[in-house]
């Protein structure tokens, strides 16, 4: 590339709320939002791809990695995206303006720029004192395992860098809308991103009889971690109950139950046909029943003439414990026990993870490196399960293999030894099992038929014949073998 393209940033950018699109996916979503329009919100696009920036209708543009990538993109390498964001982070912060109080960072996880640069930009905005909300997508399954793994790692970095994080699962959209045209599928993803940003931003910017202001939003979302959100509208005689039910079934919720949230932000918006007191009561009562009595609900009403005769409901839920979020539940590993000897030579047992430690209880460096790698792999597997394996019952679980004898062996009771129980090794009473090994003969433990009645002489499998030479050089078979008898020696 012969010439590096520099984009001049307009000076007037004084909106309270900014939406920053990072990378190809984030910029596409912001382009979509810009064309749709969100009240009193301004937009910024940041990308390493100069051509994509040039084609964006958004006026505020920041090229990332001017010297590193020379406008050619990050090549699907998150580290290149990360370094590009670091190179131009001052330009990004300048684009936000001085009056900005809240910033949305939108990105598609899985590529190079979005995955690598979005956490850097989010961290800088948060450290500058801005309320920082991440809204990211994870790929459709057909986009490939490498892209999915990069996306899941990017989400882990985003969680550390924002006040609140909304994760939109593209695969969930596929389940809802079926086999769409490819362009329509990505348009649906952009629309859901727009719904999320618009729903939160217009809670603040749209005014109504009962306002929800920026301080209310900050109370709910500041340092809240993973957030879930639902948004829907409905018309007709039962529009209030239809709207709240649809909001709680929104694809934004990604199969999560709203119960367990400590803070709820509720916005009720109506158009020409204003919402009634009874309808507000229906919505708030239904939500309180769903979320539980201990949740704090901050709610407000607004007017949007675009809704006409519909009622719109937007819900933001935060303050979950990790165990309350299906997406954050860890995958439990199988308990493994090992036998060993103590200083006196006695047999002892314990969890495998306690073996191989030094006198201070620390693992050797080699073991620690293996443990760290295994922890990373478990975390990656857990993240994949929580987004792409929706049915917890269908997830692959470790299978405990019994100790049972190989096929074909007889004379043993398969239920005799507790270690051979199908229930798994972690259910064995090891002290009792070791005591049996030391004190009970094997034939008794295995219940072999040592004292069974002996068969009659005619039934015994003992030879009664002798084969010898006769006088004529032939062979002779006689029925009395002098070397075999029935007496016990």
pLDDT single digits (tens) 170-192: 887 777 778 888 888 888 888 88
Residues spanned by CATH 3.30.1330.20 within the chain?
Answer: 225-329
- In 10 A of CB 416, how many CB atoms? 14
Element (H, E) at 223: none
Q: What is the pLDDT of residue 163?
A: 93
According to the annotation, is 26 in a ligand binding site?
yes
Half-sphere exposure of residue 1: CA atoms within 13 angstroms, side-chain side: 14
- Is the pLDDT higher at 25 or at 191? 25
Q: What is the pLDDT of residue 339?
A: 52
**CB contact set of 151 (below 8 Å; sequence gap of 6+):** 109, 110, 115, 138, 139
pLDDT at position 60 over 50: yes
Most trustworthy range by pLDDT among 252-256, 306-310, 364-368, 372-376: 306-310
Measured between alpha carbons, how far is 61 from 42 in angstroms, rounded to an integer? 12
pLDDT at position 351 over 90: no
Fold that domain 1-205 belongs to in CATH: Rossmann fold (3.40.50)
According to the annotation, is 411 in a ligand binding site?
no
According to the annotation, is 27 in a ligand binding site?
yes
According to the annotation, is 112 in a ligand binding site?
yes
According to the annotation, is 69 in a ligand binding site?
no
Q: What is the pLDDT of residue 410?
A: 44
Q: For 341, left (φ over 0), alpha (ψ -120 to 50), or beta?
A: beta
Mean pLDDT of 443-454: 58
Q: What is the pLDDT of residue 397?
A: 44
According to the annotation, is 445 in a ligand binding site?
no
- Is the pLDDT higher at 22 or at 322? 22
Residues 371-419: pLDDT tens digits? 555 666 666 666 666 666 654 443 444 444 444 444 444 444 444 444 4
CATH class of the 225-329 domain in this structure: alpha beta
> 158, 82, 95: which is closest to 126 by C-alpha?
158
According to the annotation, is 24 in a ligand binding site?
yes
């Amino acid at each position: 590339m012969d010439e590096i393209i520099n984009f001049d940033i307009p000076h007037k950018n004084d909106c309270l709320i900014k939406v920053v699109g990072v990378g190809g996916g984030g910029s596409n979503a912001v382009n979509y939002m810009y064309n749709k329009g969100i009240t009193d919100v301004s937009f910024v696009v940041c990308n390493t791809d100069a051509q994509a920036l040039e084609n964006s209708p958004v006026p505020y543009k920041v090229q990332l990695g001017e010297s590193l990538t020379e406008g050619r993109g990050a090549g699907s390498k998150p580290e290149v995206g990360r370094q590009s964001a670091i190179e131009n982070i001052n330009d990004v912060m300048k684009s936000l303006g001085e009056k900005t109080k809240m910033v949305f960072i939108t990105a598609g996880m899985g590529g190079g720029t979005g995955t690598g640069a979005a956490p850097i930009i989010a961290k800088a905005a948060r450290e500058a004192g801005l309320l920082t909300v991440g809204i990211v997508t994870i790929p459709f399954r057909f986009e490939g395992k490498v892209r999915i793994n990069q996306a899941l790692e990017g989400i882990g970095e985003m969680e550390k860098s924002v006040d609140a994080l909304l994760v939109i699962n593209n695969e969930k959209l596929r389940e809802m809308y079926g086999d769409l045209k490819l362009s329509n599928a990505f348009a649906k993803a952009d629309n859901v991103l727009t719904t999320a940003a618009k729903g939160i931003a217009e809670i603040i910017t749209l005014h109504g009889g009962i306002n929800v202001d920026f301080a209310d939003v900050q109370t709910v979302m500041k340092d809240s971690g993973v957030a879930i959100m639902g948004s829907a509208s409905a018309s007709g005689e039962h529009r209030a109950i239809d709207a709240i039910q649809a909001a709680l079934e929104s694809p934004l919720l990604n199969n999560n139950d709203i119960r367990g949230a400590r803070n709820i932000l509720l916005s009720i918006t109506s158009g020409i046909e204003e919402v009634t007191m009874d309808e507000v009561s229906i919505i708030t009562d239904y939500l309180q029943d769903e979320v539980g009595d201990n949740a704090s609900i901050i709610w407000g009403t607004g007017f949007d003439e675009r809704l006409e005769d519909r009622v719109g409901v937007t819900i933001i839920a935060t303050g979950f414990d990790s165990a309350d979020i299906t997406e954050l539940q860890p995958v439990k590993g199988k308990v493994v026990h090992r036998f060993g000897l103590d200083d006196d030579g006695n047999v002892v047992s314990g969890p495998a993870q306690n073996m191989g430690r030094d006198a201070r209880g620390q693992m050797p460096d080699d073991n620690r490196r293996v443990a760290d790698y295994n922890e990373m792999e478990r975390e990656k597997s857990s993240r994949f399960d929580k987004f792409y394996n929706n049915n917890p019952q269908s997830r692959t679980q470790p299978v405990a293999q019994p100790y049972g004898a190989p096929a074909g062996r007889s004379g043993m009771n398969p239920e005799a030894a507790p270690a051979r129980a199908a229930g798994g090794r972690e259910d064995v009473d090891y002290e009792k099992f070791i005591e049996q090994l030391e004190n009970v003969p094997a034939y008794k433990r295995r219940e072999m038929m040592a004292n069974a009645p002996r068969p009659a002489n005619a039934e015994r499998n003992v030879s009664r014949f002798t084969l010898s030479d006769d006088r004529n050089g032939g062979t002779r078979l006689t029925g009395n073998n002098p070397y075999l008898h029935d007496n016990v020696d």
